[in-house]
């Protein structure tokens, strides 16, 4: 058996507590720079990660057709994009704060071509370097969790979405309650900014404890007006 490198050993020790403890963009960059190499092979595999499948299914369920590209927000190593491609989404762009994670996403392929059309390093705590009304769909699994993004960041996603764009945003259930995602989204719905707001509750990991909200996601599904 090949002995793991020091970097792999350190990355293997990163878990939910470390991920939830980060605070701010720079801390996130440092975390995922260390995590990128073993994120899928160790953390996702050992925890029976299901998040990407649920978010992609919520996005594609009942979707007749897409008239433009889909943006994968916080795309990480590209597991959401891979699932979207498997479900038939043809054009996917990805953004993430970590260049190391983006490098892994760039290696993803489907049917002999790159899973992602374009990948961008981006910090969603500020304005995205993307044109308004660009995307026909927005998906996210993992960006909206402890130490990451609050509901106000959804404003930028709405800006870059086309009118009629479908959104499927996974939000850690504990984070959802703590920072007021429910009220924020309801206000946007009442104001006519979004429509058809609904929530799908799914486990983030296989065998998730039903009493532990950190193991569950509320996937907000809505249409941009």
Sign of CA dihedral 162, 168, 173, 174: negative
| Predicted confidence (pLDDT) at residue 27 exceeds the cutoff of 70 | no
| Predicted confidence (pLDDT) at residue 6 exceeds the cutoff of 50 | no
Instruction: Give the Cα separation of 181 and 112 in Å (integer).
Output: 39
HSE toward the beta carbon, residue 161, CA cutoff 13 A: 25
Instruction: Tell me what pLDDT residue 28 has.
Output: 64
> What is the per-residue pLDDT across 127-177, written as a single tens digit (0 to 9) for each?
999 999 999 999 999 999 987 789 999 999 999 999 999 999 999 999 999
Please count the other Cβ atoms lying within 10 Å of the Cβ belonging to residue 168: 26
CATH number at 48-224: 3.40.50.150
The ranges assigned to domains in the chain are: 6-44, 48-224
Percentage of the residues of the chain whose pLDDT score is greater than 90: 78
Task: Name the phi and psi angles at 37, rounded to 5.
Answer: -65, -35
> What is the per-residue pLDDT across 88-131, written as a single tens digit (0 to 9) for each?
999 999 999 999 999 999 999 999 999 999 999 999 999 999 99
Residues near 68 by beta carbon (within 8 Å), at least 6 away in sequence: 91, 134, 135, 136, 137, 162
217 by DSSP, 3-state: which? strand
> What is the per-residue pLDDT across 29-56, written as a single tens digit (0 to 9) for each?
777 677 789 989 998 999 999 999 999 9
The answer to whether the pTM exceeds 0.85 is yes
Instruction: Give the Cα separation of 162 and 148 in Å (integer).
Output: 25
Instruction: Give the Cα separation of 61 and 75 in Å (integer).
Output: 20
């Amino acid at each position: 058996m090949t002995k793991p490198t020091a970097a792999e050993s350190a990355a293997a020790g990163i878990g939910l507590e470390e991920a939830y403890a980060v605070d701010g963009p720079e801390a996130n960059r440092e975390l995922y720079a260390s995590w990128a190499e073993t994120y899928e092979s160790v953390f996702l595999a050992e925890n029976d990660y299901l998040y990407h499948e649920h978010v992609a299914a919520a996005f594609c369920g009942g979707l007749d057709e897409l008239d433009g590209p889909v943006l994968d927000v916080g795309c990480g190593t590209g597991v959401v994009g891979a699932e979207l491609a498997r479900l038939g989404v043809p054009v996917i762009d990805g953004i993430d704060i970590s260049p190391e994670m983006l490098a892994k996403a760039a290696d993803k392929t489907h049917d002999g071509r790159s899973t992602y059309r374009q990948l961008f390093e981006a910090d969603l705590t500020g304005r995205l370097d993307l044109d308004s009304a660009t995307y026909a769909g927005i998906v996210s699994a993992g960006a909206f969790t402890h130490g990451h993004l609050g509901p106000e960041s959804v404003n930028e996603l709405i800006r870059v979405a086309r009118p009629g764009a479908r959104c499927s945003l996974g939000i850690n259930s504990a984070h959802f309650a703590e920072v007021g995602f429910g009220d924020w989204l309801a206000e946007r719905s009442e104001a006519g900014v979004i429509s058809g707001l609904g929530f799908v509750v799914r486990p983030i990991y296989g065998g998730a404890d039903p009493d532990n909200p950190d193991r569950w996601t509320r996937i907000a599904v809505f249409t941009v007006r």
